[in-house]
Structure 1
Amino acid sequence: MSTGNPATDLPRLSLAETVAKRIEARIAEDTLPNGHRLGTRDSLRREFDVAAATLNEAVRLLTARGTVSVRPGVKGGIFVATPPPLVRLGRKMLELSGDSVPVSDCLVMRDALEPLLAREAMRHRTEADIADLRRLAAEMAEQAESGVGYLAANWALHRRIAEITPNKVLQHTYTSLLEFVENRLRGVTPDEPATRYVEGPAVHRELVEAIAGDDPERLDAAVEAHGALTAARGGGT
């Protein structure tokens, strides 16, 4: 139920992404060098006035992107990291292309990579991976009537699937495309009750369960069903 406060009404994943974007913006605007200490989890949580779970999710997103590193110990904390060369290359290609790169082209490439990512996820997933995927699929279902919330949960699920593969070329190519689409669509999706996502949660739950199983035919069917959503709905599948 809505609290009437736009900030607290946003889902945790959306807030985590917002915090991650603000940290990325600070690093870029202040040209912070590799190894610069951004703070501790607790100090950053207080600074952005979010729950510990939200800050932890933001740090996980940034760590997966190669933007920050986490160091334990008394002098530890969250530090600026230099993204891996593949991440920098993917981002630079899209930046140089600018507005000449349509979202539709990125979606075509993303969709072409998703069957391979799903097979890689089935092959390499751990119990912890599956637990995360099931949690994210459940959050998608909870946000099915919210355009912004559903897309945030959707992107988080697909990013988590991509993190499973040990193939870093595949992982970073996919996540670079995902980030490009995400940034283009963010802020233009109406956050209002929607019926367009009614099929999405069930399709993604089946995709997760197929990844958790050992039946390649079931996985192929789940990927095909997901592809049909992509064709019908565009970026928010």
Structure 2
Amino acid sequence: MTQADNAQDDSGVDIGLGLGLAPMSVPKSSDVLANHLRQQILEGKLVEGSALPVERALATSVGLGRQTVRDALRVLEIEGLIVTRPGRAGGSFVRRPDTATFERTLNVLVSGRGVKFHSLLEAREGLEPVAARLAALHRTDDDLVALDRVAAKMAESRGNVPLFLQCNVEWHVAVGAATHNEVIEAIVNSLSKVILRSTDIEEFNSEETMGATLEAHSRILKAIRAGDADKAASSMSKHVHVYRELVENLNVPEDIPM
């Protein structure tokens, strides 16, 4: 017989009744409340910018303790679904998911699972050529203006490594935005920012490397502007592959700084 079959109450009566019952896992009240509020936010029933009831009022309305409510709100805050503001006019306010929400989730995954740098580069090699292809097919005039603006800023920052690296991230994010695909935009945005933290090293950011990056971006942007999806994809594929080879040759640490 199983342990559940032999389970007895204080009187010695078998409460398993021979049914093979296993111990049950009951969700915490804070998780139940967090799930309910999360669903309300995602379905748009709680609109962005609206204030949730104050902690005491919320606890009273749902019949739970204030600490339970506090724990539920903390979960939503970590997920980026609410923002807490201090002061007399403060409180908890609804925030709809955006690319920053995905970025926080990716950071937790990378840190919590010990994801290695090469895994991010492999993901980037698979994703960014697709992003470039879709950008060539769906980009608008405003997208081209944004890409041109970042490209010019990047060229001007060639002697300033931190600014150059930030502009590089902004350029790849702009390509993701030009796809007009929210999922790809969020992933490109998040990957680019995580990768930035691992490549902010002197050996990686030589004058030669920065020049090659600018030339690659120019080719990709030319194809996107022309609406040449195949050329945009192949140029981006070559760019991110060369980037990966450079990382491997420089022995960039596999552990990603947080």
Q: Please, what TM-score do these two structures have when normalized by structure 1?
A: 0.56
| 1:204 equivalenced with 2:222 (yes/no) | no
**Matched length:** 161
| 1:130 equivalenced with 2:105 (yes/no) | no
- Is the radius of gyration larger for structure 1 or structure 2? 2
CA deviation after TM superposition for structure 1 residue 164, in Å: 1.8
AA of the residue aligned to 2:215: A
| 1:215 equivalenced with 2:199 (yes/no) | no
Q: 1:199 to 1:219 in 2, by over 3 A?
A: same
Unaligned runs of 5+ in 2: 1-47, 52-79, 83-92, 249-258
Task: Decide which of 85, 101, 104 is 2:115's aligned counterpart.
Answer: 101
Task: Name the SS for the 2:164 alignment partner.
Answer: helix
AA of the residue aligned to 1:167: N
CA deviation after TM superposition for structure 1 residue 190, in Å: 4.1
Task: Decide which of 151, 162, 165 is 2:176's aligned counterpart.
Answer: 162
Q: 1:231 to 1:135 in 2, by over 3 A?
A: same
CA deviation after TM superposition for structure 1 residue 123, in Å: 1.0
AA of the residue aligned to 1:116: V
1:178 match: 192
Is this contact kept in 2: 1:94–1:180, CA < 8 A?
yes
Mapped to 1, the partners of 2:195 and 2:229 lie a distance apart of: 29
| Cα shift readout 1:117-171 (whole Å, capped 9, x = no counterpart) | 0011011101111111112112222222332121111100001111122322222
Task: Decide which of 101, 104, 107 is 1:91's aligned counterpart.
Answer: 104
Is this contact kept in 2: 1:203–1:222, CA < 8 A?
yes
CA deviation after TM superposition for structure 1 residue 103, in Å: 2.4
AA of the residue aligned to 1:212: R
Task: Name the SS for the 1:35 alignment partner.
Answer: coil
Unaligned runs of 5+ in 1: 1-33, 38-65, 69-78
| Cα shift readout 1:7-56 (whole Å, capped 9, x = no counterpart) | xxxxxxxxxxxxxxxxxxxxxxxxxxx6389xxxxxxxxxxxxxxxxxxx
